[in-house]
A = this chain, B = another copy of it.
Amino acid sequence: MLINQSYMTLVILVKLLYNSLIYDKNTTKKEGKMLNKEKNRRKTEKGEKTKQKLYTAAATLFNQHDFREVTVDRIVKQAGVAKGTFYIYFESKDALIVSFLLDYVRKVDIDYRAVLDSFSPGTSSSRMLLGLISKIADTLTDVIGCTSMRTVYKLLLADDIDTDAVKGYNRDLYKIFSELLKRGIESGEFCDTLSLDEMARHFVMAIRGICYEWCIRYPDFDLKEQALAHFQILLDGIKVK
């Protein structure tokens, strides 16, 4: 349902959506303590192995069933460990899902610059931006899928995610847009009444609004088509008249 590796393209959008959303108990906890001698590596490795067992079990199940259908009990049973053990390595089921989605995204992630570079140098910034949007839409539709995005959006709204983590959640896409916008302003294509930062922020907001709409209206909503039309308006709004 989720894995569909053949489609190679970029997934900036999703990546940024999870960025620093990941609060991996294990990693965080160890960061400060595991730089001891080599001796206790055996201890650590055992834990790491258990964590991996849990993760693998979960991943297997996630690929076969809906997130909701995969219970923690099933995961621990499949992994052959006790339930309590799960919570040694993962903050919550949600945290594991986020972790899983992030890993998945990493696999299909490629350098967005490759996409931008594929355009001939003379291409207008608008065109490049629309090209990027197009790619993102394709990836979301064909690789990530609506179900996963839904989960992401729900998790982002979860109360138990610390504010700081959320704040930096979209640095990446933000940066890309920022660069493209800068290019457009410098070439005199876009006007600079708004600061780069603000413009980029609005673009990120827009793309999330569209994605959200897609999530709740799926399948009666053509993400790519709507996204392109929407950004066309936004671009017209910032173009030099």
Contact between B205 and A166, CB atoms less than 8 A apart: no
Interface presence of A35 (CB below 8 A): no
Partner of A166 from the list B153, B216, B241 (CB cut-off 8 Å) is: B216
Contact between B216 and A210, CB atoms less than 8 A apart: no
Partner of A167 from the list B157, B212, B217 (CB cut-off 8 Å) is: B217
Q: Scan A187-203; emit 1 where CB is below 8 A from any B CB, else 0.
A: 00000001000100110
Contact between B233 and A238, CB atoms less than 8 A apart: yes
List which A117-169 residues lie within 8 A (CB) of chain B. Answer: 150, 153-154, 156-157, 159, 163, 166-167, 169
Q: CB-CB < 8 A to A217: which residues of B?
A: 166-167
Residues of chain A touching chain B, judged by Cβ–Cβ distance below 8 Å, are: 68, 150, 153-154, 156-157, 159, 163, 166-167, 169, 194, 198, 201-202, 205-210, 212-213, 215-217, 220, 226, 229-230, 232-238, 241
